[in-house]
Amino acid sequence: MPQLPTMFVSHGAPTLAIEDGPAHRFLIESGRRLGKPAAILVLSAHFEAPAATVLTNPAPDTIYDFGGFDEALYRVTYPAPGDPALARRVRKLLEAGGIPVREDADRGLDHGVWVPLSLMYPHADVPVVQLSIDARQGPAHHLRLGELLQPLRNEGVLILGSGGVTHNLAYALRADIGDPVPDWVTSFREWVADAIENDRRDDLVDYRLRAPDAARNHPTEEHFLPLLGAMGAALPGEARSRVHVSETYGVLAMDAYMFGATYLSPPNIAS
């Protein structure tokens, strides 16, 4: 079985699932180009737990962990099966690396999972497992999670980080969808792109001190940490590229990255 890449996507607002736009179209096309994996392991910004927690639910529900959107969004379901065997494999890999793991047999799939996957794999026919993040542990911990999960890429598992290259929700809630991108967003997203392109993992781990306007782009860290997990699952020196660039509400950069392969075309800002 060929080794799969690992990927990070910015999921933006939940309406991404039902509203056309550059990121919406990119996710549809990325699923076509990647092909169908045996299973998907997702690190989502919206599954936080005080210890590494893996979802073992064989039939997870669709969670609507948001409010105030069009009723059509609440009619979207994503009935992908779970994969308890993969969940046990994840637990084994992490515990072998010294990270204690808990299991959750009841939780469903949050919108950080089903919004991008409903576009990438709309038939919901690929098993999905979630692994939690823990913002208190910081970037280095999540990079380590990814490193420990690397063997899954040789077992047909797509490792997907789902968060946001930028995520200042307070600004986004006051903005219109087509607002221009502020300089403080551009400088940060381009710093991230350069650090990834040059595999500056130490800089990315220490991004809050080294990146311009880091705290302004990420008042809290949960949307940035899945990027570290996705990157950690790729070996140093493997191919890495920004495969999508767009934005919404001005301050939400919808950039996506791929590690370990160059299956997708270069970013097209105007697409």
Q: Write out pLDDT tens, residues 57-80.
A: 999 999 999 999 999 999 999 999
Is the predicted pLDDT of residue 81 greater than 50, yes or no? yes
Please count the structural domains in the chain. 1
Closest CA to 177 of 254, 244, 110, 114: 254
Q: Write out pLDDT tens, residues 151-188.
A: 999 999 999 999 999 999 999 989 898 999 999 999 99
Residue 266 falls inside a structural domain = no
Calculate the CA 82 to chain-centre distance.
18
pTM of the model: 0.95
Q: Write out pLDDT tens, residues 209-239.
A: 999 999 999 999 999 999 999 999 999 889 9
CB atoms within 10 A of CB 139: 22
Where do we find the tokens 């026919």?
125
Residue 251 falls inside a structural domain = yes
Pairing of strands 240-244, 256-259: antiparallel
Q: Write out pLDDT tens, residues 241-256.
A: 999 999 999 999 999 9
Residue 270 falls inside a structural domain = no
Residue 267 falls inside a structural domain = no
CATH of the domain at 31: 3.40.830.10
Residue 164 falls inside a structural domain = yes
Closest CA to 91 of 65, 54, 119, 58: 54
Residue 265 falls inside a structural domain = no
Q: Are 166 and 249 in contact (CB under 8 A)?
A: no
**Residue range of the domain that includes 36:** 6-259
Residue 162 falls inside a structural domain = yes
Residue 38 falls inside a structural domain = yes
Over residues 47-51, mean pLDDT = 95
Q: Write out pLDDT tens, residues 92-121.
A: 999 999 999 999 999 999 999 999 999 999
